[in-house]
Amino acid sequence: MDLMDGFRYLGALAIVLALVGAAGLALRRYGLPGIPGANRRLAVVESLMLSKTHRVCIVRCDGTEHVVVTGPQGASVITAMTAMRDAERMSA
């Protein structure tokens, strides 16, 4: 195997990895047929670790945002409010 074959193998590997990455991004953006993609009803807006075992999350569901605290004992909904638009969130 000479140097040109090595470059050819590495180039082919780079092309295959780029194609796999592009396919993954396309699946994430558009979803699979029959499986909802961007039109999901449930989304985690933000998440923050409070301690090693506790986490607080803002979860959006059907236009309502819920603040949820999770831990080893389970999950608790702290509050629910009408969801803010992204533009309103940036200005707040």
Query: 40-53 burial, b if ≥16 CB within 10 A, otherwise e?
Result: eeeeeeeeeeeeee
Q: Quick one: 5 exposed, middle or buried, by C-beta within 10 A (0-12, 13-18, 19+)?
A: exposed
Could you state, in order of their start, the residue ranges of all structural domains in the chain?
1-38, 41-92
Q: Mean pLDDT of all residues in the chain?
A: 83
CA angle 78, 56, 38 (to 5 degrees): 100
Q: How many angstroms separate the Cα of 11 from the Cα of each of 24, 67, 91? A: 20, 48, 46
pTM: 0.51
Per-residue pLDDT of the chain (92 residues; tens, 9 = 90+): 688 888 999 999 999 999 999 998 888 777 666 665 556 788 888 999 999 999 999 998 888 899 999 999 998 888 888 876 654 555 65
